[in-house]
Amino acid sequence: MVKVISDSGLEVMAKQRGPIPLDASFSCPAGELLALVGPSGSGKTTLLRTIAGLYKPELGHVACMDNTWLATERRHSLTPQQRKIGMVFQDYALFPHLNALANVQLAMGHLPHSERPLRAKQWLANVRLEGLEKRFPSELSGGQRQRVALARALAREPQVLLLDEPFSAVDQVTRRRLQRELALLRQQISIPIILVTHDLEEAAALADQICVLHNGVSLQQGSPEALFRRPASPLVARLLDRHNIFEGEITSINGQQRVQWGEYHLEVAEGLVGLPLGETVAWYLPPSDIVLHRRDRPSQGERENPVAATVHEMVVLGGITSISLRVTHGDVLRFDIATHAARRNQLALGEQVYVSLLAEGIHIMSGKHVAMPSRHMPSNSLSSDNTSSHHKRNLS
């Protein structure tokens, strides 16, 4: 087994006023995968090129394995060859006149000629392409070509692996297989991996951490669970395709701080300390923390924030039904439940139902409610919660 190891992580900082505005910084420890997500034009590919040495911002710093690759303040910049980057592109970038084995060997300039064929075969085996060494790119499927590109990137024994929308050019079934194989391949390498993707579901499935970018600015970095449950701002929430983002006012009931939302005074488990009465705040509630009351089982518990609402929309998507509920002051709550549960509770458009907004799920964010940017990522139906437990929790 060929193993690639890095002793430390990657640190990146890039700032400039134009032509592509940048004010971004992020880090990725060795052995972890960081996904860069954001709408088109948010600077993801430019940052990837900055790491690779293909682009130099006005002010920038890139360091890996305790070695400085870029330090603009002292006019220091290593070439792409000196940085030992492995890069996988969306369109594979294979040489059509070379077979799979020869394409991989091209990345092995650091090895003696005699060692290259065997090592190239090992890398092709690592990506499950045994027996296809002599096939040319035109004789391979899209998924196989992408695996050759991945083998070639790793054959350089890179200190960082960069993946630029690597699975977007293949069909969904192949995409899932390649995602699984990347997850397995990570067991053999211990270097920072940076993934650029528009697919939030892909980012949540593969990444140890996600960095959210918008207009060249890094807004928040954290684990998928942390970002999907605790976005830093309404803008981050909307860039992550989160719904249930509302405004409320800090009030006090019997000496206890609450968030007034229309006619309701919501209890919140955390985040209200130090906020003055009367201040308007933005708050977010993950869909998994909206619990639909059964007709035969009234709400129990002191921290459940029971709310009455009307079924505004129902969309059946196989075994899952997407529910939109409109409360009396006009805001709409969205969540999913199992279709059989929706039928069992006889949900219908216009019907009044009761839900609980769990106090521990309500997250107070910095900044007020903001509209979605005009350029946005494709919508993906995903949650940081486990799917099965998510649907169970949405029915009390």
What is the tens place of the pLDDT at every residue in 274-333?
A: 889 999 999 999 999 999 988 766 555 555 899 999 999 999 999 999 999 999 999 999
Tally of domains in the chain: 2
172-185 and 142-155 helices, crossing angle to 10°: 20
Nearest to 101 by CA among 82, 116, 80: 116
Residue 305 per-residue DSSP state? -
Q: Is the pLDDT of residue 211 over 80?
A: yes
Q: Is the domain of 59 the same as that of 166?
A: yes
The pair of three-digit structure tokens given for residue 29, joined into one six-digit string: 């420890």
With a cut of 70, say whether residue 2 has pLDDT above it: no
Is residue 378 predicted with pLDDT exceeding 50? no
* Phi, psi (rounded to 5 degrees) for 281: -130, 155
Residue 380 has pLDDT above 50, yes or no: no
Of 229, 263, 281, the one marking the end of a domain is 229
Closest residue by Cα to residue 366 from 229, 246, 232, 249: 232
DSSP state letter for 41 = T
Do residues 190 and 272 share a domain? no
Structure tokens at 303: 């921290």
Interior CA angle at 90 toward 171 and 21, to 5°?
A: 130
Position 5 pLDDT exceeds 70: no
Region 53-78 average pLDDT = 94
Residues 83 and 196 in one domain: yes
CB 246 within 8 A of CB 253: no
Q: What is the pLDDT of residue 303?
A: 54
> Can you give the pLDDT at residue 372?
44
Runs of H (alpha helix) within 85-199: 100-105, 116-126, 142-155, 172-185
**Residue length, the chain?**
396
Residue 295: predicted pLDDT: 72
DSSP 240-257: TT---EEEEEEEEETTEE
For the domain that residue 367 is a member of, what is the CATH number?
A: 2.40.50.100
* pLDDT on residue 128: 86
Across 200-207, average pLDDT: 93
Q: Are residues 200 and 107 in the same domain?
A: yes
3-state helix/strand/coil string of 286-301 = CHHHEEECECCECCCC
Domain stop point among 171, 199, 229: 229
Q: How far apart are CA 97 and CA 103, in angstroms?
A: 9
Indicate if 192 and 260 belong to the same structural domain. no
pLDDT reported for residue 180: 87
Quote the domain boundaries for residue 355.
Answer: 234-393
Q: What is the mean pLDDT of residues 185-195?
A: 89
Clarify whether residues 145 and 93 are in a common domain: yes
The average pLDDT across 349-366 equals 92
- If asked whether residues 89 and 184 sit together in one domain, one would say yes
Strands (E), 202-243: 209-214, 217-222
pLDDT tens figures, 100-147: 999 999 989 889 999 999 999 988 988 888 889 999 999 998 888 988
- Both 221 and 246 in one domain: the answer is no
Q: Which of 187, 210, 229 is the last residue of a domain?
A: 229
The model's confidence at residue 236, banded by pLDDT at 50, 70 and 90, is very high
pLDDT tier, 176 (very low <50, low <70, confident <90, very high otherwise):
confident
One domain, residues 60 and 208: yes
**Each residue's pLDDT tens digit, 30-39:** 999 999 999 9
Same domain, 100 and 134: yes
The neighbouring-strand residues paired with 382 are none
Binned at pLDDT 50, 70 and 90, residue 250 comes out as: very high
Q: What does the pLDDT average to over 27-31? A: 94
Q: Which CB contacts under 8 angstroms, 24+ apart, belong to 293-300?
A: 293/353, 293/354, 293/355, 293/356, 293/396, 294/345, 294/395, 294/396, 295/345, 295/346, 297/396, 299/354, 299/356, 299/396, 300/396
The predicted structure's pLDDT at residue 368: 58
Alpha carbon 292 to its chain's center? 28
pLDDT for position 89: 84
- Given a contact cutoff of 8 angstroms between Cβ atoms, the answer to whether 333 and 324 are in contact is yes
The position carrying tokens 């509920």 is 325
- DSSP code, position 394: T
pLDDT of residue 389: 40
- Quote the percentage of the chain above a pLDDT of 90: 63
The residue written with tokens 């951490």 in the block is 209
Strands 306-317 and 320-326, by their bridges, are antiparallel
Same domain, 132 and 74: yes
Q: Name the percent of the chain lying above pLDDT 70.
A: 88
User: Measured over all CA atoms, what is the biggest interatomic distance in the chain, rounded to whole angstroms?
Assistant: 80
For residue 210, what is the domain's CATH number? 3.40.50.300
Half-sphere exposure in the Cβ direction for 329 (13 Å, CA): 9
CA distance 62 to 83: 10
83 lies in the same domain as 215: yes
| 194 sits in which H/E element | strand 193-196
pLDDT value at position 369?
A: 52
Of 94-103, 250-259, 381-390, the poorest mean pLDDT is in 381-390
For the residues of 259-290, what is the DSSP string, one character each?
EEETTEEE--SSS-TTPPTT-EEEEE--GGGE
